[in-house]
Amino acid sequence: MTAIFPCLRVGRPNTYYRNMTRIIAGAAGGTVLRASHTGTRPTSDRVREALFSALESAFEFEGARVLDLYAGSGALGFESLSRGAESLTLVERSGSVCRIAQRNLAALRPALGEDAQVTIVESATRSWLGTARGEFDLVFLDPPYELSNADCEADLALLAPRLSEGALVVVERSTRSGDLALPEGLRLWRRRDYGDTALHFIEPAE
């Protein structure tokens, strides 16, 4: 079942939130985000900083339509909004983690303003991609490391028709996972390894 959550107010601190990270730069730079300590694998601060440093030289955030799959608490998508993205869709199958993302959004609203378009969807990624509409300019695909390459490649095949011309997809995998066999219509632009994390930068093939 797919559910779209309304905005929630930020309540009293809860011991469920153990991991925290910060928005690196942009309008909401320095804002603390909460993340679940179970069921998700937040991108480390080191990798996130390297990722957005690479994107700054290759991608125009201003006005971008961003999709964050296996979104967790939404740190990658929210970082993009802080840097000028126009809209953000977060897809996360865990209802409790979606609620953390909603609280993060509430914390970011004063800096982002009410014009920032954010949709948080509780759904499995494959199910959502099967019925998705519209196009996206920047996509983060950050599945659990235990997800097989074949599953990741199936996600990419469903994602390909939803990419705009000049779009960029960033897939985060374990370096032990090896290379991805990209579906027709996509090609690898570059790969960067940071410790045991591999970032695959993928774009539509001409």
Residues 123-144: what's their mean pLDDT? 96
Count of all residues that appear for the chain in the document: 206
pLDDT surpassing 70 at residue 112: yes
pLDDT surpassing 50 at residue 46: yes
**C-alpha angle with apex 164: 160 to 165, nearest 5 degrees?**
105
Considering only CA atoms, give the Rg of the chain.
Answer: 16
88's CB contacts (< 8 A; 6+ apart) are 66, 67, 68, 74, 77, 78, 80, 81, 116, 117, 118, 119
The DSSP code for 146 is T
Rounded percentage of the chain residues whose pLDDT exceeds 90? 80
d(CA 87, CA 81): 7
pLDDT surpassing 70 at residue 87: yes
Instruction: Check residue 43 and give its pLDDT.
Output: 77
Instruction: Check residue 17 and give its pLDDT.
Output: 40
Instruction: Check residue 7 and give its pLDDT.
Output: 35
* Single-letter amino acid code for the residue at 192: R
Residues 62-79: what's their mean pLDDT? 96
Residues 91-103: what's their mean pLDDT? 96
pLDDT surpassing 80 at residue 113: yes
pLDDT surpassing 80 at residue 39: no
What ranges do the domains of the chain cover?
A: 3-7+15-204
Residues 118-134: what's their mean pLDDT? 96
Instruction: Check residue 21 and give its pLDDT.
Output: 87
Whether the CB-CB separation of 13 and 88 falls below 8 Å is answered with no
d(CA 70, CA 89): 11
Instruction: Check residue 19 and give its pLDDT.
Output: 60
pLDDT band at 10 (very low <50, low <70, confident <90, very high): very low
Rounded percentage of the chain residues whose pLDDT exceeds 70? 88
Closest to 1 in 3D by CA, of 97, 88, 131: 131
Residues 163-179: what's their mean pLDDT? 96
Residues 96-110: what's their mean pLDDT? 96
Domain 3-7+15-204: give its CATH architecture.
3-Layer(aba) Sandwich (3.40)
pLDDT surpassing 70 at residue 4: no
